[in-house]
Structure 1
Amino acid sequence: MPAAAPTRHPLDPEPASSTKARAVFALGLAALLTGAMIGGVIPATIALVLARQTHREQFASAGYLTGNKWVRHGRKLAWAGIVLALAALVVAGIAGLLHLATPGGQDFDTNTD
């Protein structure tokens, strides 16, 4: 016989969706979209800090604050934005070194008449 779901106490609050969870997702998405332009580090950092706060609030609410899926996806997007920003920095550094290392920059005339 399957176990019955526990009944809720009448004074228990209704589960509510966390607005911070959606903000984490939005900031993570912004970090991913702007990560290749190195500007994604700022929204990614804010998203990761806000994700930590949201996770603590959800834990403290004992299940009455929902939105854990939004936080997880936002955190993944924020890390992806940081990785894209780091990759853009590496590519820019390599391109700069290759530009400096190209032979035949400015050729000065050695003949002085």
Structure 2
Amino acid sequence: MSIYVHVMQALAGLAGGRVFPLVADEGVDTPYIVVQRVGGPATNFLTGEAPEKQMNRVQVTVWAASVLEAEAVGGQVEAAIRGAVDLQPEVLGRAVDDYDPTTKYKGSRQEFRIFC
């Protein structure tokens, strides 16, 4: 199953269900969440077999009309991913603020390590 499916399922109840892989749909209402795979260590076996699961680094960004809303939903994102214990999540650091000058949306971005 795709890493996007796993993470989006964990976040489905947040931001009114507005959770998107890679980029949000044009014109979507805020707040919304964007999930992006940003790498992770490769798993290699001497036998050459492909692993059943991979360690994935995932970046999750919340976009909102205000920084307080982005921060609040970002906290919900962290709690939801921490609660998805079947993904063996690891929080890789505190959230980072972001700003989109085109839309004037405020963002909260955080990275996680997910094993699936």
Asked if TM exceeds 0.5, the reply is no
Q: Which TM-score applies when normalising by structure 2?
A: 0.29
Q: Which TM-score applies when normalising by structure 1?
A: 0.29
Pick the structure with more helix per residue: 1
Pick the structure with more strand per residue: 2
Question: Which of structures 1 and 2 has the bigger CA Rg?
Answer: 1
Larger relative contact order (CA 8 Å, sep ≥ 6): 1
